[in-house]
Structure 1
Amino acid sequence: MGLSIHDVLNFPQLQQMRLRAGHDNIYKAIRWIYIAENENIFEWLKGGELVFITGINHQRNEQNLLELVYQGYQKNIAGLVILTGEECIHFIPASVIAYANELNVPIVEQPYSLKMIEVTHIIGTALVELEQTQNSIADTFSRLIFANYSSEETIAIRAKNLNLNLQVSYLLVSIKMAAHDELFISDQYLDPEKKLRDKKQFLIEQLDAWANEEQLNFPVLKFGDVFVLAFPLRHEDIETWIRKMNHLILQLAEKTKPLKLYIGLSNIVQSVASFQRGFDEATQAQKLAIDLHLEHRCLPYNDLGILRLISAIPDKSVPRQFMQETLGCFFTAGKRQADIYLNTLDALVQENFNVMNTAVRLGIHRNTITQRMQKIEALTGYSLEDPKYRLHLSVSLIIWQLFSPTSLH
């Protein structure tokens, strides 16, 4: 995590600055400040800069501003700050704002009356101070997950000094970027090593921005191809975090192809001592996800029990066949009906076949659940009261969720 445009706009001294474009991309970390005094900025940028366009020493017309937006987009900058006023750029053309929104490049308007030296001093100082704080927080997080501390009391005091709340429960996540071979054996990439570095950098930047947006307490840790996050269980529950992470990973997967992302999720971490256990659990789940080829979705450690058995089966067609024999009759009813039956069965299993709790879980009337259960029994020819059939359903639903690209979760 780092200083973002969202943070800058919330500084009390900078309340005159206004966000004009790129509202969905304001959590990207600002790497540094660049004041553009040349006609073009492309060759001077490395990525992540907050670029200031003054229009004082170099006249900026509409076409030039459009070009600067495009160059900033190409270089993956944090955003553009455009000074406006009688002495510089009179106003930001509507076409520039529309183009920036199209490319999702943030544009901040700064009135000329707000002195540049004050703005850059405030942001520059915040960048340095935040980097130092984030380094300390990252070090503390790393020591927690590896149990690298002299005593629990000492690390707890350090966390408190850094405003880290260890009284909150957490979930730890391990994300592995894998399948590097596909980059190097393909003729599509002239420089696969650079492409690999670029994709890793893209992933860490996107995870950082997402962590900023979600206001995570701990920054994203990077260990080679592995990225570690901690989700606080303040308002969101476990299922909410799984949905959020799955949604994010599916978005990132499109941009990280042909590499694949494998995600493991720990059980709840509730104390200093349990951070190491949580990290080990997330890592085990992530490794099993690789073994089972379960890319681009969260695999909770809590689900590993029977998954260890499934992963030990060399021929994966065996569990698929078992799932087909148990659930295949629902697929013939059409996709919409199949989704209804499978979601109902999944909820019934989660609620130990309690009709009332299942109705609450799905937000429908208990009579509807009863009617669906009757239809399911008619389709399958089995009673849902049969313990052996319940077990078959539970195992088959797990296999379905594992191997189906349109799984229930």
Structure 2
Amino acid sequence: MSMTIGDILALEGLGAMRPRAGEHSLHAPVRWYYVAENEGIADWVMGGELVFVTGINHPRDETNLLQLLREGRERGIAGMVVLTGPDFIRAIPPAAIALANTLNIALIEQPYQLKMVIVTELIATALVRRDQLERSRRDMLLQLLTGDYPDVEIIRQRARSQNLDLSLPLRVVAFRLTGAVALFRDLPGEAAEAHLQQARQLASQRLQVLLGQLDNPFPLLVTGQMFIMLLPEPGLSRHKQRLQQWLQEGAEDSREPLALLCGASSAVSDLSHWSNALAEARRALDVAAGLAPRQRLCDYDQLGVIKLLSAVGDRALLADFARDTLGRLIEPARRSPYLLVETLEALIQENGNALRAAERLSIHRNTLHQRLQRIEQQSGHTLDDPQFRLDAAVALLIWRMSQTNLQES
């Protein structure tokens, strides 16, 4: 895993540094360090930095420290170190400690007697060493996930030399930011790109923190637009509710329309099957937006018939089935797009019970019956036919999957 603030505080020679706030964020990964010499830091950090505030080149009163914390939160810094002593910043103000706790930023106190040249040299050396180890681990794990490796036994030897246990079954858990299409539609190109990259940086940091909280030995992997975790079993089962809550909290904090979604593979034990597990996680991720937008997490083991649908290579065959079954219901150029589709879905979810379907949709029974008549007219089928309801359930899944792919392509 990447070096965290907690790892840095544990380095020999840095024992005098102590956390004052945001101790839950000591798992935050540190990309590099930055010594703040200007009034603000927003224009000088990119995310992931451990920011040192000395007060030597610029006076640091309570107002300025609060400003730095807010800017640090906005830019996604790993944490902040404030040097205290009789000459510049005598003590960290209580208001700064309270704000750091509110913003969940690790706030560290460093006495001036501990020389900055020693601190920065120790941190830089440790970061470079950890980065070299992480690069080697990521390279090895990505080879397994892509199936591009010379020999399994060589992989096992490399893993043992790096204290990674690959013998236990694990799940491949993939994350992706969705909503980029809407982002570039609503904002100018440069602004949308800047926002997207900042969101990816923040997502990476949050995932790194989550890995540390789960005490996971595997590093976070990135391939294309996906972030990938490897969770040893029964890790996903044990942490699924917590992961779901974490995704929901992140959605509330993030700017619309971007949202982080998650897809998990079934458990895999054989190293030669890791690439299959990645494909499963990708399939679960692809249907998460359309089929479980409120849950944000899609488990491949719970996809049911979608496993079969996602494995069909001929996408045109699926599209034809959905179109033949649903008819004009899924035509995009409608006065009320997808209103009848949602009504049909509600009826199927309630096993054909019209009263409960009306309650689910929060509409009057008469309104529901009017819509059901239109569904029968436009689909060419009767809702009393159980075969049609079965076909419609499958066709709606196919349509939702195709809509997800269309929106994110």
Q: CA deviation at 1:297?
A: 2.4
Q: CA deviation at 1:80?
A: 1.4
2:242 is the alignment partner of 1:244: yes
Match of 2:405 in 1: none
Give the AA of the match of 2:105.
Answer: V
State the alpha-carbon separation in 2 of the partners of residues 320 and 284 from structure 1: 25
Match of 1:141 in 2: 141
Secondary structure of the 1:219 match is coil
Secondary structure of the 2:350 match is helix
Given the superposition, is the C-alpha separation of residues 276 and 9 from structure 1 closer, same or farther in structure 2, using an over 3 Å criterion?
same
Q: CA deviation at 1:146?
A: 1.3
Secondary structure of the 1:164 match is coil
Q: CA deviation at 1:223?
A: 2.2
Match of 2:101 in 1: 101
2:193 is the alignment partner of 1:167: no
State the alpha-carbon separation in 2 of the partners of residues 113 and 69 from structure 1: 24
Task: Show structure 2 runs of 5+ residues with no match.
Answer: 311-317, 327-340, 361-389, 401-409
1:180-329 alignment, distance < 5 Å: 180-186=180-186, 191-233=191-233, 236-254=234-252, 255=254, 257-290=256-289, 292=291, 294=293, 296-308=295-307, 314=322, 315=326, 318=344, 320-325=346-351
Q: Is the 8 A contact 1:263 1:296 kept in 2?
A: no
Secondary structure of the 1:14 match is coil
Deviation string, structure 1 residues 117-166 (Cα, Å, up to 9, x no partner): 22212111111111111111111110111122111110011111111111
Secondary structure of the 1:276 match is helix
Identity between Structure 1 and Structure 2 (%): 33
Q: Is the 8 A contact 1:263 1:295 kept in 2?
A: no
Given the superposition, is the C-alpha separation of residues 61 and 222 from structure 1 closer, same or farther in structure 2, using an over 3 Å criterion?
same
Given the superposition, is the C-alpha separation of residues 294 and 34 from structure 1 closer, same or farther in structure 2, using an over 3 Å criterion?
closer
Give the AA of the match of 1:100.
Answer: A
Give the AA of the match of 1:216.
Answer: N
Q: CA deviation at 1:299?
A: 1.9
Structure 1 range deviating more: 224-233 or 280-289: 280-289
Q: CA deviation at 1:277?
A: 2.1
Given the superposition, is the C-alpha separation of residues 271 and 195 from structure 1 closer, same or farther in structure 2, using an over 3 Å criterion?
same
State the alpha-carbon separation in 1 of the partners of residues 132 and 197 from structure 2: 25
Secondary structure of the 1:149 match is coil
Q: Is the 8 A contact 1:171 1:278 kept in 2?
A: yes
Q: CA deviation at 1:332?
A: 10
Deviation string, structure 1 residues 348-383 (Cα, Å, up to 9, x no partner): xxxxxxxxxxxxxxxxxxxxxxxxxxxxxxxxxxxx
State the alpha-carbon separation in 2 of the partners of residues 252 and 276 from structure 1: 28
What TM-score does the superposition give when structure 2 sets the normalisation length? 0.73
Q: CA deviation at 1:2?
A: 2.0
Give the AA of the match of 1:239.
Answer: S
State the alpha-carbon separation in 1 of the partners of residues 291 and 60 from structure 2: 55
State the alpha-carbon separation in 1 of the partners of residues 237 and 225 from structure 2: 26
1:66-77 alignment, distance < 5 Å: 66-77=66-77
Q: Is the 8 A contact 2:170 2:230 kept in 1?
A: yes
Q: CA deviation at 1:247?
A: 1.6
Matched positions, count: 339
Q: Is the 8 A contact 2:83 2:109 kept in 1?
A: yes
Q: CA deviation at 1:12?
A: 4.0
What TM-score does the superposition give when structure 1 sets the normalisation length? 0.73
Given the superposition, is the C-alpha separation of residues 192 and 37 from structure 1 closer, same or farther in structure 2, using an over 3 Å criterion?
closer
Given the superposition, is the C-alpha separation of residues 296 and 137 from structure 1 closer, same or farther in structure 2, using an over 3 Å criterion?
farther
Q: Please tell me the root mean square deviation across aligned C-alpha atoms, in Å.
A: 3.3
State the alpha-carbon separation in 1 of the partners of residues 69 and 35 from structure 2: 14
State the alpha-carbon separation in 1 of the partners of residues 219 and 146 from structure 2: 16
Given the superposition, is the C-alpha separation of residues 220 and 303 from structure 1 closer, same or farther in structure 2, using an over 3 Å criterion?
same
Deviation string, structure 1 residues 260-299 (Cα, Å, up to 9, x no partner): 4443211112132221221122122223335646465222
State the alpha-carbon separation in 1 of the partners of residues 34 and 70 from structure 2: 16
Given the superposition, is the C-alpha separation of residues 285 and 270 from structure 1 closer, same or farther in structure 2, using an over 3 Å criterion?
same
Give the AA of the match of 1:195.
Answer: H
State the alpha-carbon separation in 1 of the partners of residues 178 and 356 from structure 2: 35
Match of 2:24 in 1: 24
Task: Show structure 1 runs of 5+ residues with no match.
Answer: 335-391, 403-409
State the alpha-carbon separation in 2 of the partners of residues 142 and 327 from structure 1: 49
